[in-house]
Amino acid sequence: MKKIILVSGFLGVGKTTLIQKLLEELIPEHYVMIIENDFGEINIDRELLGGYELVVKEINAGCICCSLVGDFEKAIVEIERDFAPDAIIIEPSGVADTSHIVNVSMALDYGYNLNSINLIDGVNHFLYLDNFHEFYKNQILSANTIIINRTSKLSTDEIQNV
């Protein structure tokens, strides 16, 4: 089955590192496409993701899930038509409202199985929750897989609280 893997989380939480690990698993047997939009980090990410035979589709005019929902859907349609990949990895901006991406991805009828992964910064979780409550909570609730990162800096009790 084809896959759409949405990797979300706030800036600096390790999205690109996770994508590198996913690519190591997927590339040998699958044709993979990446859609990314992370303000100011696209060139850095491209360098970090280098060494893989894949196509990166950048959506630069704004957040792919907020102001460009239509363009995001158009990008998926173009990708399916032009490349027909086995997997699409989506790395939205760290400040994305991912529920729109999830809704659009689920509405598309190309036989993709959606896995929405949200990375949480264990150290800054409560700070983000306090300052970006609904927005931050939306990213977490839109995910079907949650990974708590930076746990080595936390006690067992702190990890449990997160």
Per-domain boundaries in the chain = 2-161
Through-space distance between the first and last CA atoms of the chain, rounded to whole angstroms: 33
Q: Which fold has domain 2-161?
A: Rossmann fold (3.40.50)
Q: Name the pLDDT band for 83 (thresholds 50, 70, 90).
A: confident
Residue 61 · residue 71 · CB < 8 Å: yes
More confident position, 64 or 8: 8
Mark out the alpha helices in the chain (DSSP H runs): 15-26, 42-48, 69-82, 98-107, 125-131, 133-141, 156-161
pLDDT score of 97 more than 90: no
122: left (phi > 0), else alpha (psi -120 to 50), else beta? Answer: alpha
